[in-house]
């Protein structure tokens, strides 16, 4: 039977590339990755002569080590053992991951803030600024609870602290503060991801996992209706606007609605290069789901007289780059995220003003355009498969969750239409 070749090799070496005072050389930790075919040498803040290194480290008989020599050996041996332990904990060895594990504090493995910071940094590096912000909001909420309710400083919060009972008290704490179960579900799901990340990297034991059967159950919130009825849509579409800001907000909301419930981030990212040569349609990839699946699904939107008029009125005059003047090519990912978030807030603010004057739901937002598109499609007899494809859902179950949020009238109409062959 062939013996499996290790993915790495770790050793203590004398670095003879640079001689120092007293004919001493730096003692270093050498790490070699077979997968990557590269090595790294890490300084250990120890200098020894050839003879000293031979006597302290290379010589297999350590019984005659005394005083400072024994202390040096113990320090080097402890470093080697820890390096080996960190390497063994990795499923696939890499220099970068070894460095992140080896040079952290020993308490970081079980530290909640440390693992949240890792997730935040990773998402920022991948230009997922919104996801990074979500991790920040989650940790801030947990930190507030840990500090004020559990009297534990946030930077001292460990995975051992967060038990099923801890989470149950956290849930009640959030409810007492007036937070919705939707918010609680979002935060606890994000925490669950961090737990799984720490377990996957062997930083904590699976035994610490507080979620699941007979443990803490994340609230399963019921879908809230976020779709306008046909009458409400007609009222909103024909509503008088008081200024240009309201006019643009109204127009872009219905642009989203008419483009299969297109997300406002995708509207901001829409470029003239996405259009066909005749300008009758455009194709794009949904930003929210682009990185979540290996198979990329391109969405094609056919323009109507209305959507063409919106582009003609509010689109850039130069007809190049981004269609709408929301973000710029010179913006970095963080600036783009902030601009899109501020623009969406701006649209929501003005459509709420229109809604208030016309007795429409006061919590209407840009997201309602997406649900309203799905509802209208259903009313007009579109199949669940058609709606799922139009919304670019990963599978039919996601679309069914949308259907669960529709008003009873729509469900009844749909049921009654089934026998209309």
Length of the chain: 421
Q: Is the pLDDT at 23 greater than 80, yes or no?
A: yes
Of 75, 102, 129, the last residue of a domain is 102
What digits encode the pLDDT tens for the residues 217-273?
999 876 666 889 889 999 999 999 999 999 999 999 999 999 988 999 999 999 999
Residue (of 6, 78, 76, 1) closest to 43 by Cα position: 76
> Which position has the higher pLDDT, 371 or 307?
307
What sign does the dihedral 122-128-321-299 (CA atoms) show?
positive
Of 177, 208, 239, the last residue of a domain is 208
Token pair listed for 373: 């598109």
Range of the domain at 186: 106-208
In a domain, residue 218? The reply is no
Residues 42 and 155 in one domain: no
Residues 401 and 255 in one domain: yes
Q: Is the pLDDT at 4 greater than 70, yes or no?
A: no
Residues 22 and 64 in one domain: yes
In a domain, residue 118? The reply is yes
CB contact at 8 A, 303 and 281:
yes
Residues 42 and 115 in one domain: no
Q: Is the pLDDT at 412 greater than 80, yes or no?
A: no
Q: What is the pTM of this model?
A: 0.75
Q: Is the pLDDT at 403 greater than 50, yes or no?
A: yes
What digits encode the pLDDT tens for the residues 272-297?
999 998 889 999 988 876 565 556 67
What's the whole-number mean pLDDT along residues 34-57?
93
In a domain, residue 43? The reply is yes
Q: Is the pLDDT at 1 greater than 50, yes or no?
A: no
What's the whole-number mean pLDDT along residues 104-125?
94
Tokens 């070749």, residue located: 5
Q: Is the pLDDT at 123 greater than 60, yes or no?
A: yes
Q: Please write down the HEC assignment for all residues of the chain.
A: CCCCCCCEEEEEEECCCCCEHHHEEEEEEEEEECCCCEEEEEEEEEEECHHHHHHHHHCCCCCCCCHHHHHHHHHHHHHHHHHHHHHHCCCCCCHHHHHHHHCCCHHHHHEHHHHHHHHHHHHHHCCCHHHHHHHHHHHHHHHHHHHHCCCCCHHHCECCCCCHHHHHHHHHHHHHCCCCHHHHHHHHHHHHHHHHHHHHCCCCCHHHCCECCCCECCCCCCCCCCCCCHHHHHHHHHCCCCCHHHHHHHHHHHHHHHCCCCCHHHHHHCEHHHECCCCCEEEEECHHHHCCCCCCCEEEEECCHHHHHHHHHHECCCCCCECECCCCCCCCHHHHHHHHHHHHHHHHHHHHHHHHHCCCCCCCCCHHHHHHHHHHHHHCCCCHHHHHHHHCCCCHHHHHHHHHCCCHHHHHHHHHHCCCC
In a domain, residue 366? The reply is yes
What's the whole-number mean pLDDT along residues 162-181?
97
Residues 128 and 250 in one domain: no
Residues 17 and 150 in one domain: no
In a domain, residue 223? The reply is no
Confidence at residue 62, expressed as pLDDT on a 0 to 100 scale:
65
What digits encode the pLDDT tens for the residues 362-392?
999 999 998 888 888 877 777 777 777 777 7
Token pair listed for 202: 């062997």
Residues 289 and 371 in one domain: yes
The share of the chain scoring above pLDDT 90, in percent, equals 67
Residues 328 and 392 in one domain: yes
Of 102, 131, 164, the last residue of a domain is 102
Confidence at residue 295, expressed as pLDDT on a 0 to 100 scale:
61
Phi and psi of 33, rounded to 5°?
-105, 115
Band of pLDDT at residue 169, cut at 50, 70 and 90: very high
């Amino acid at each position: 039977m062939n013996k499996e070749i290790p993915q790495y090799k770790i050793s203590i070496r004398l670095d003879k590339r640079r001689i120092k005072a007293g004919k001493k050389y730096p003692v270093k930790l050498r790490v070699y990755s077979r997968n990557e075919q590269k090595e790294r040498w890490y300084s250990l803040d120890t200098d020894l002569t050839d003879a000293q290194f031979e006597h302290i480290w290379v010589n297999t008989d350590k019984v005659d080590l005394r005083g400072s020599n024994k202390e040096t050996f113990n320090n080097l041996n402890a470093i080697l053992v820890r390096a080996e332990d960190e390497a063994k904990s990795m499923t696939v060895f890499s220099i970068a991951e070894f460095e992140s594990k080896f040079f952290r504090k020993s308490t970081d493995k079980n530290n909640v803030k440390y693992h949240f910071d890792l997730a935040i940094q990773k998402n920022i590096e991948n230009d997922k600024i919104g996801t990074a912000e979500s991790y920040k909001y989650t940790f801030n909420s947990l930190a507030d609870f840990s500090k004020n309710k559990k009297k534990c400083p946030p930077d001292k919060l460990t995975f051992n602290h967060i038990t099923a009972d801890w989470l149950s008290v956290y849930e009640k704490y959030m409810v007492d503060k007036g937070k919705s179960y939707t918010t609680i579900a979002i935060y606890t799901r994000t925490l669950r991801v961090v737990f799984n990340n720490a377990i996957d990297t062997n930083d904590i034991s699976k035994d610490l996992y507080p979620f699941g059967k007979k443990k803490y159950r994340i609230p399963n919130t019921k879908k809230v209706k976020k779709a306008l009825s046909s009458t409400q849509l007609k009222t909103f579409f024909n509503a008088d606007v008081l200024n240009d800001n309201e006019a643009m907000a109204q127009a872009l909301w219905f642009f989203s609605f008419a483009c299969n419930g297109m997300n406002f981030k995708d509207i901001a990212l829409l470029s003239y290069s996405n259009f066909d040569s005749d300008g009758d349609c455009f194709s794009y990839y949904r930003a929210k789901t682009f990185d979540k699946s290996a198979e990329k699904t391109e969405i094609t939107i056919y323009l109507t007289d209305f959507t063409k008029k919106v582009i003609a009125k509010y689109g850039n005059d130069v007809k190049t780059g981004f269609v709408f003047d929301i973000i710029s090519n010179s913006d970095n990912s963080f600036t783009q995220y902030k601009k899109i978030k501020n623009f969406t807030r701006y649209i929501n603010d003005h459509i709420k003003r229109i809604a208030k004057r016309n007795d429409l739901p006061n919590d209407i937002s840009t997201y309602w355009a997406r649900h309203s598109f799905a509802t209208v499609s259903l009313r007009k007899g579109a199949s669940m498969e058609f709606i799922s494809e139009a919304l670019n859902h990963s599978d039919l179950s996601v679309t069914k969750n949308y259907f669960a949020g529709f008003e009873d009238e729509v469900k009844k109409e749909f049921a009654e239409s089934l026998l209309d062959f």
